Structure 1
């Protein structure tokens, strides 16, 4: 008969948020599970209010989590604003990944809110990257992101 106490211990070790792993060749040590923040905010008609988001963030962080995933368009920027507020006093402990392929003006165009859109408001070209990153840094209230 197999001793399950050892496998339980192994499973707990593998899934512990503070059992940091190297993220590829970046040199960054991150939690084995990232906290996705797509539903940080209610701008899309679903998601969580600021108080619930803070509770989610605090629980993840208290358990040792340090890897946060967001994007410039998540909940029209609220995701980055909330996350920036939550990590402000612990920024050096946190690894923040954000994305930029579609920016808010393109998202508005796709939703029908802005019929005249900027043809360069999407894509992975330099112009969109620089403009989107600048806006993300302002929303996050930080001078850098760890992964783009």
Structure 2
């Protein structure tokens, strides 16, 4: 089957097997931030955005993305680097294997939820697994990032 998928602003017209998952499509065409962790939609490592909403690409058929915009970590590098700085500052990056999926989920959450509570953050990110940490560092990093964003909003409104 032929698909036309826009990945990080680049249009890809490709012939694919009918059963190809979006994760495999992305990796085949050089998007290596998207990682395989479980193939059961349980770990969040493969999180990407389709039309701006987070999806687990290991269980999302590539054919379903036909005609759609897909964003990966490569497509949000500036925002990702900004948030990654908070992960590093809080010692939350450890091995880094889960970081791409976590960052994509956090950035999506930041766009979707206004001033989320810690409980809302936990619920939003409940499908993102990290095998190295107890999530305390990630939560500190997320809270610090959210607090800085809120402070920037207040400063922008005051101008």
The structure where strand makes up a greater share of residues is 2
Q: Which TM bucket (shorter chain)?
A: under 0.3
TM-score (norm 2): 0.26
**Bigger Rg over Cα:** 1
The higher-RCO structure (CA 8 Å, 6+ apart) is 2
